[in-house]
């Protein structure tokens, strides 16, 4: 296998795993204002993601670093062409982290209320912006020899917004299911019931996305050329149906696991359709950024491959250990006993 293909696969896996992990944190964050009825419940939700949210962002950093090191031309032009959107995304992630840490520093209703709103907004915006960004990548950017012909408003096209809504809905169901597993009592029940209600709009948006993709992108070309690849979106659809089936059967852990699979294979569906492009040109395919015309040297890719196969398993093992240590639901007693609680 060519190293460019190896790194394209790793690039896809890194993004998919990041969305699977940070997706429930973002979903829990922007649903917190709906789920929590008082300050204690808001603290329970924040502490349910407290031990893992910053670790999840390691996958985002690694995905960005892999793009920079393996496909530097794509990295440079992506941050040039989508600068404003990505800057808003960066600021949102910064505010989210600050809000988690600062909310409990002062006992005041206005202080906490301001940070609660910051958590909701800074969780919603990344979910939407990630979807808009990937939607435009799937669709292709207007690029030619003169560069990129567009700006922030051009990214807010119908297909980009639809993909943004898909990400928001995916993360909302994902976050609600996570909250139902990591809390107890009425809060857990409300989260589970909310996940059930949110599944219907998720299904509708997903169906619209699949239909719009056929008209707005060329993602299906790879699938039509190799029909066996349709197994990837089929798994995503089956996993989405399984989420609802497990919720009806009152099995939240299995529903959450199915939601993880759904997010993974939704990302794999889009990335498989992109191959070998990283950012296709909607004006002329000759100006598309591919894994071949934007990659680093073979020597660089070789070194990166060795490093990745050493350290990625270590990161995976660490994450498994962390989730195992903090697998129990968060209770009010935990808040009282743990001085480090948010």
DSSP string of 9-38? HHHHHHHHHHHHHHHHHHHHHHHHHHH--S
What's the confidence (pLDDT) of residue 124?
Answer: 96
Mean pLDDT, each 10-residue run in order, the chain (342 residues): 89 95 95 92 92 88 90 91 90 93 88 94 95 94 85 88 97 97 94 96 96 94 95 96 97 96 96 95 90 92 91 88 88 76 72
**255-267: b or e for each residue (b if 16 or more CB lie within 10 Å)?**
bbbbbbbbbbbbb
Please report the pLDDT score of residue 335 as a whole number: 79
Q: Which domain holds residue 137?
A: 3-337
DSSP-H helix ranges across 183-287: 185-216, 220-225, 231-248, 252-274
pLDDT (0 to 100) of residue 55: 86
pLDDT at residue 174, rounded to an integer? 97
At which residue do the structure tokens 């240590």 appear? 325
Q: Do 199 and 244 contact (CB within 8 A), yes or no? A: yes
Residue 12, pLDDT score: 95
pTM score = 0.94
pLDDT number for residue 135: 95
Q: Does any domain span residue 342? A: no
CATH number, domain with residue 236: 1.20.1630.10
User: Does the residue 8 lie in any domain?
Assistant: yes
Structural domain total, the chain: 1
């Amino acid at each position: 296998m060519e190293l460019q293909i190896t790194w394209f696969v790793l690039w896809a896996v890194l993004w998919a795993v990041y969305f699977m992990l940070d997706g429930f944190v973002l979903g829990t964050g922007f649903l917190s204002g709906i789920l929590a009825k008082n300050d204690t419940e808001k603290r329970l939700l924040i502490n349910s993601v407290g031990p893992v949210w910053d670790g999840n962002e390691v996958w985002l950093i690694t995905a960005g670093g892999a793009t920079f090191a393996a496909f530097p031309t794509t990295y440079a032009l992506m941050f040039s062409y989508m600068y404003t959107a990505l800057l808003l995304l960066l600021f949102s992630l910064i505010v989210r982290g600050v809000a988690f840490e600062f909310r409990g520093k002062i006992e005041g209703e206005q202080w906490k209320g301001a940070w609660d709103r910051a958590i909701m907004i800074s969780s919603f915006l990344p979910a939407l912006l990630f979807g808009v960004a990937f939607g435009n990548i799937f669709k292709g950017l207007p690029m030619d020899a003169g560069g990129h012909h567009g700006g922030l408003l051009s990214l807010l096209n119908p297909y980009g917004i639809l993909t943004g809504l898909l990400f928001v809905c995916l993360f909302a169901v994902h976050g609600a299911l996570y909250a139902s597993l990591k809390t107890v009592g009425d809060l857990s029940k409300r989260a589970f019931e909310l996940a059930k209600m949110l599944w219907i709009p998720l299904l509708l948006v997903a169906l619209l996305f699949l239909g719009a993709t056929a008209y707005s992108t060329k993602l299906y070309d790879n699938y039509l050329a190799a029909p066996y690849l349709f197994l990837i979106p089929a798994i995503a659809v089956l996993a989405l149906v399984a989420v609802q089936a497990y919720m009806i059967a009152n099995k939240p852990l299995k529903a959450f696991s199915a939601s993880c699979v759904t997010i993974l294979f939704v990302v794999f569906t889009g990335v498989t359709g992109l191959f070998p492009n990283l950012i296709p040109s909607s004006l002329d395919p000759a100006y598309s950024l591919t894994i071949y015309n934007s990659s680093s040297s073979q020597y660089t890719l070789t070194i990166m491959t060795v490093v990745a196969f050493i350290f990625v398993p270590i990161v995976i093992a660490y994450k498994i250990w962390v989730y195992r240590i903090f697998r129990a639901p968060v209770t009010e007693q935990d808040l009282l006993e743990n001085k480090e609680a948010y």
